[in-house]
Amino acid sequence: MIFYSTNKKSTPASLKKATLEGLANDGGLYVPSVIPRFSEEEIELLRDAPFNDIAFAVAKKFNDGEIPDDRLGEIIESCFTFKTPLVALEADTYVEELFNGPTLAFKDYGARFLAHLTGYFAEEDRTFITILVATSGDTGSAVADGFKGVPNTRVVLLYPSGKVSRLQEQQLTTVGGNVTALEIDGDFDDCQRLVKQAFMDAELKQCLVLTSANSINISRLIPQTFYYAWGSLQLAARHPGKKAFFAVPSGNYGNLTGGVLAKMMGFPIEHFIAGSNANDSVTRYLEEGRYEPHPTVETLSSAMDVGNPSNFARLRHFYLDDHHAMAADISGHSVSDSETLDTIRAVYDRFGYIMDPHTAVGFRALEKFKEANSTVDSPAAIMSTAHPAKFIEAIKEALDMDITIPDRLQEVLDKQKISIPMSADYRDLSSFLSKL
């Protein structure tokens, strides 16, 4: 398949080129030239299929023969060795738990797939690749774990100092080996800006083969369609004749964009509810039709603290920059920190279920949507993006109780943090990278 830039000023790329470049040379994000479609017959054949079979079917459409089918199948099997539970809270409301991977966050789906593809392409080209990543928490840990020990690769993580949870920071800074963590004196938008500047730096790109593992990378986005495809078919089986609604905690909007792709590919999805926190640039666009990003605001749902989300460019592309078309598929609702805490308490009291702050934002956004659309009776799933133990401080504040920390997280807490402090001045990053 051919991919081209949302800015439409760079040369079209193969999957390999788009993956290894990360960001197009005109500063745009790669998108497929044509969104592949599944026929009704193909969807029917997948209805009872295991997750990995669905993932392979979707990946094959985007791969279009570039990676041999047997090798692509091996990559899928190596990546997704964990379950994706769909937990019923009540008759028509579910939580799709996306946090059962190695780092207990939904980013494991995209990061592991990207790592395996990058390793495959690096081996094919016999080259050494530097992966540059901006993270507000879970992306960095998932990428670090996904690329850990992958031959011919080196990962450099940029994260905002003091703006991720302690557990997330420990996951970012204790991997070692081919992973280096840079602690940036700024916010996530600063980290994202620095990464974009590096990709636009022609002099630096003469020294290093750079790619990105953020959701700006098309091979991080593609696997995010897998769990929407699977989840929609699960809900269709449980509620015959009805299409799924998905409530999505949204920060950089890669997760939601993956869902939109799955819908456009033909999977049985009716509508999306995009839950934002105080960083509500896209929410306001959906309501008013004007996109006016504001500076980032710190919230309890820290991984969603993104003032100017990158993947909004892809959403605008897929909807031909038509506000009404996008708003027909996506409803946006903003959720405050106090509402987030109240939701964690209410969900626990009603269902005995503990949600992390991001999932709580998605749940409350769904409630707001239902309040405004009382006739909707389709099944809905909240995309649960992280294990609650990754946000023990917020859970403690909401529920006044301690929760058990999984062994794999406790082991990380006992390790020594290793990071390199750095300013948000691009000259410092450029100097560091040029010496690698």
What is the tens place of the pLDDT at every residue in 79-106?
999 999 999 999 999 999 999 999 999 9
pLDDT band at 418 (very low <50, low <70, confident <90, very high): very high
pLDDT above 80 for 329: yes
pLDDT band at 248 (very low <50, low <70, confident <90, very high): very high
Confidence (pLDDT) at 149: 84
Confidence (pLDDT) at 269: 98
Tell me the pTM.
0.90
367-388 per-position pLDDT tens digit: 999 999 988 889 999 999 999 9
290-305 per-position pLDDT tens digit: 999 999 899 999 889 8
Confidence (pLDDT) at 127: 87
CATH of 70-105+221-399, one of 3.40.50.150, 3.40.920.10, 3.30.470.10, 3.40.50.1100: 3.40.50.1100
From the list 191, 329, 310, the residue with the least C-alpha distance to 255 is 310
Q: Active-site residue numbers?
A: 107
pLDDT above 90 for 75: yes
Confidence (pLDDT) at 141: 86
Position 392: which residue type?
I
